Amino acid sequence: MPSEHAQLALSHLRDPSDFKWYVIPLLVIVLYIYHDQIGRKNYSVVFAGLALWGMDWFNETWNSLIFHFTGYAPAWAAPGDTAYLILIGLNIEICFMFAILGIVTTVMLPPKEAKILGVPNRWFFAVFFSALAVFIEYMLNYVDALTWDYSWWNRSAPWLIFLLGYFPFFVVAYWVHDMKCIKRQAAAVGAILGFDAICVIAFGSAGWI
């Protein structure tokens, strides 16, 4: 039987009646940020942003599959107020946030060879932003905006949230950002988003997510 949090999220899942008008200006902001970076020819930043966004879609997909196969709960659910719940743990607000998070966290990167406290800066920032994201999730969980029903994914066990929930996002985003060839960046991002699309279409058609 689904958990209380899962049942609440399911009651909102892809319900168009939840629509709120603030979605439109949020979309415009996301588009403006990407347009601005493209106008500045910061293509590495754009690809990094898309790579991180794609990594989140991958996580949100397997999170939905956990709920499908357990019938109890996903690793995380988003049962709170939203303008649209896309997947059981992904609402439109989270989706827009991840769409620009990669850009926000790469525009501030120093040159690749620079070190911070003796640590290569890419690894330093990947750890720092992952830890910050986990802390923010704690706050969201505290107000039941993001809920956890498993002992292995909650405030007393943050390591999986860190290692699976965020760290790979930033590692992949910075890896794509530092590729020297724009064709390689496009291929990497295309592979990530293409795999996401295949999973969403296949599992969605099967009614699994």
Q: What is the pLDDT at residue 81? A: 92
pLDDT tens digits, 114-169: 999 999 999 999 999 999 999 999 999 999 999 999 999 998 889 999 999 999 99
What tokens were used for 108?
């501030």
Q: Which residue has the higher pLDDT, 74 or 80?
A: 74
Answer whether residue 70 shows pLDDT above 90: yes
Alpha-carbon distance 69 to 152, whole Å? 17
By CB atoms closer than 10 A (0-12, 13-18, 19+), residue 96 is middle
Q: Give the pLDDT confidence score for residue 95 in this predicted structure.
A: 98
Beta bridge partners of 77: 147
Above pLDDT 70, what percent of the chain? Answer: 100
Backbone torsion region of residue 33, taken as left when φ is above 0, otherwise alpha when ψ lies between -120 and 50, otherwise beta: alpha
* Percentage of residues of the chain with pLDDT beyond 90: 97
| Tens of pLDDT, residues 106-119 | 999 999 999 999 99
| CA–CA distance, 204 with 61 (Å, rounded to integer) | 10
- Cβ pair 106, 174 in contact under 8 A: yes
